[in-house]
Structures are given as C-alpha cells and as structure tokens.
Amino acid sequence: MEDVSQLVAKQYEAFAYPAPFTNLAEQVSKGYQQIGDPALYAPVLWPRGRPRRPLRILVAGCGTVQAACIAYTNPKDDVVAFDVSEASLAHERLLQERHGLSNLRLFRGDLLEAGSLGQSFDVIFCTGVLHHLGDPTAGLAALQSILAADGVMVLMIYGQTVRTGVYMLQDAFRRIGIRQSAEGVTQVRRILAELPSRHFAQDYVRAADELKHDEAIVDTFLHPQDRAYTVPQVMELVDGAGLAFQNWLDNFPYWRNGAWGPDTAIAAAVDPLPPKEHWAAVEMLRQSAGYHAFTSRHRTADLATVDFDSDEWSNFVPHRAPGLSRSGQGQFKRGHYELRCSEIEQFVIDGADGERTICEIIEVPALEEIPRDERNEFARRYFEHLWKLGHVMIALP
C-alpha cells in the first residue's frame, strides 16, 4: 500500500496546484502577490530591518508559481525551491524561462530532506504544505535546521473553524468512493450544487473563488491528507519544532477590532486577555480564519514585539499594508476589507509612507490646532487600531 507522501505526489502530478498561468508579469501588474513576499512585507518579516542583501530564500513546496513569483519580485535575491511534483516544477520552469529568472534554482525533492540542500536560508517559505504531511512537526523541524540564525520563516497552514464543513464533505466523498479524476471532479461539483443551504461547507464554497478550477476541487475535497489548526495548535506546532512565533502576516482575523467596537460585550470580555488568549477567543467567536499565515524565528532570535503602550510608539514607522488603496472619499479598501475614516484619520493614513515616524506624521501645521496630548493619544490609538486591522505594518526603531 502506498504511503501518504506518494499519494500526495501523485495528486500533484495529475492536478498541479494552484491552477497555473503563463504570464507572471501580467498577473503581478494586476495585483497578484505571494503573502509574505519580502518585497512587500519586509516590516512584518523583520520589524527592526532586514538582515542582509542579497537574501538567501528557500521556497519549500513551491507548487506551480510561487517560486517564480518570489524570484521575479526579488530580482537581487537568490531563490532556491523544491517540490515533490515534476508537473508543478515544469510550470515553474516555464515561468523561469519566459521571464529570465536567473536568480532561481529548482529541484525535485521532499520537505523532510531539506537538510540535503547543504546551506542555510534567510527566508524560508512553506505555505500550504505542512498540513499535508503525515508529521507536520517533523517537516517544520527539518526546515528549522536550515534556517539562518537571524532568519525568518513564512508559514501558512489551514484554519480549523472555516474548514469544518470541508472535512464533512471529504468524509462523505471518501465513503462514496469518489476518485481524483475528471469524472470525480464532475461528481463533486454536482453534489456541491445540491447541498442544503444550511450545510457547514456553504460559506466556504461561496467564498472560495478558486473552486472554479478542477485542481482546487481536488485539492480541497479529494486530498488524501490534510489537517487544520486552531490558534493554540499553531503555537504548539511552532514550539514543537523548536521555533518561536513572531507575528501574523495579517492581523485582521485575530483582534476583535475587525468585528466588534470598544463598547461591546465581546470587547469587555476579550480585551483584558493576553494576546495569544485574545487571538484564540476571537478565532472561535468570528470563525473567519480559513488559514493561518504567520512568521516564526529561532527561539534565540531577537523577537520584535509591536507594543503601542511602550515608550517607543511615537518612533514606530507605519507602512501601508500591500493592497490598501483609496476607494472613495474617506474610504479605503484592502481585499474584501473596507475602512471608513474621518478627515483627520484619512490624513494620517496618507502620511503612512514607510519613511516617517508616527511623531513626524502628526507634527505638521495642519494638526497644530489640536492640543499636543490629545493629538498624541489619537495618533497612538488610531495607528494601533489600523495595525490590529492589518491595514498598516509597523517598522520598529
């Protein structure tokens, strides 16, 4: 009987994932990005500044496009990538050749054998991979062994609450005997169309635009191995691999600010909690985290913590998060998140240019009429609010 790693490799040979495209430049120009890309997320990866240039980047389990995208947007850095699927690597090579990505090297290999690469890396990407391993902790530990002393990992694993209905359907499809084939995909689509409106998978099906691709149907509903995590389980996974959790790549799903105001019963209940307990409680109250994307580092690393109650807050440098753009007067949008703001709030968001500190943003003639103490408290709490919403990233002094 084949082990699960062989079954996973066979799946991605037949249904290379994600659905590939052939023009990377065109996709990037339309806003396509890799979450955690150093070109876009540097303040999250290294709140106190990146360690060196060029970076040594590893993409572990690159799929069809991830490695080429990282190499394209970080042309001065060295990118190494591997995957178990030759079909996926073929798409990566196509993009590499089309866009002249001389900074990219591709290999076929297993994550558990990452140490055989014989070098350490400043950034290790492993997104959408660990949850398909028989032993995710062992996989993460294998990557930990080749992470540079001051390096950072960009990780993504499935979130449990949103995928509850998905696992119900996986169980049903296994019992029915649906196979990974064109006929199996057709059968899954027909069954999805007949599910009752109250089914726990309906929110996921409506929101997952990628399900229009056969590869995503197979990866979601017919995968031979995957599991999902709660916030506490994320922390256990990281700790079990000898690493330390650093931060979320997008804060929005984990702080109550995104759903409930300061005068609500939920705010009164969760705001006094320490961060990890706050995140865990909000996850169960919101049930909106379909995946967890975060960074981790060695336990011995200097973990930078963003704390707006510290004396350093006025020297924080806010950067607008990737994708945050003005959508109207007093309105901003980032993905499906919307932000409405007053004139003064809009003014300080416009000032978040990734260069000026919070203190410098508010020390301008336009705000002189506001008493200094009032101005400072507004700026401190509003930027904290924006950071918890994931709309700004914070670089520390």
Fold topology of 313-395: Outer Surface Protein A; domain 3 (3.90.930)
The pair of three-digit structure tokens given for residue 225, joined into one six-digit string: 């191995």
At residue 42, does pLDDT exceed 80?
Answer: yes
**Band of pLDDT at residue 151, cut at 50, 70 and 90:** very high
- pLDDT tens digit sequence for 79-135: 999 999 999 999 999 999 999 999 999 999 999 999 899 999 999 999 999 999 999
The pair of three-digit structure tokens given for residue 328, joined into one six-digit string: 């109207």
End-to-end C-alpha distance for the chain, whole angstroms: 56
**Band of pLDDT at residue 6, cut at 50, 70 and 90:** confident
Distance of alpha carbon 357 from alpha carbon 104, whole angstroms: 36
DSSP strand pairing (104-108 vs 78-83): parallel
At residue 4, does pLDDT exceed 80?
Answer: no
pLDDT at position 2 is: 54
Instruction: Give me the mean pLDDT over the 338-343 stretch.
Output: 91
pLDDT at position 1 is: 38
Instruction: Give me the mean pLDDT over the 380-396 stretch.
Output: 96
Other CB atoms within a 10 A radius of the CB of residue 244 amount to 15
Task: Please answer whether residues 243 and 296 qualify as being in contact, where contact means their C-beta atoms are separated by less than 8 angstroms.
Answer: yes
Distance of alpha carbon 393 from alpha carbon 250, whole angstroms: 9
Distance of alpha carbon 128 from alpha carbon 359, whole angstroms: 39
DSSP strand pairing (325-328 vs 331-334): antiparallel
pLDDT at position 364 is: 83
- pLDDT tens digit sequence for 170-216: 999 999 999 999 999 999 999 999 999 999 999 999 999 999 999 99
Fold identical between 4-160+228-298 and 313-395?
Answer: no
Distance of alpha carbon 93 from alpha carbon 76, whole angstroms: 19
Q: How far is CA 145 from CA 173, 243, 244, 335, in A?
A: 38, 10, 14, 35
Distance of alpha carbon 55 from alpha carbon 58, whole angstroms: 10
Task: Please answer whether residues 323 and 335 qualify as being in contact, where contact means their C-beta atoms are separated by less than 8 angstroms.
Answer: yes
Distance of alpha carbon 88 from alpha carbon 104, whole angstroms: 15
pTM metric for this prediction: 0.95
The pair of three-digit structure tokens given for residue 183, joined into one six-digit string: 């006929």
Domain ranges within the chain, ordered by starting residue: 4-160+228-298, 164-221, 313-395
Please give the CATH architecture assigned to the domain spanning 4-160+228-298: 3-Layer(aba) Sandwich (3.40)
HSE-up of residue 55 (Cα within 13 Å, Cβ side): 27
- Where do we find the tokens 């709309």? 391
What is the phi/psi pair of residue 228, to 5°?
-130, 165
- pLDDT tens digit sequence for 248-285: 999 999 999 988 999 999 999 999 999 999 999 999 99
Q: Rounded mean pLDDT of the chain? A: 94
- 10 Å CB burial of residue 228 (0-12, 13-18, 19+) is buried
Q: Helix, strand, or coil here: 304?
A: coil
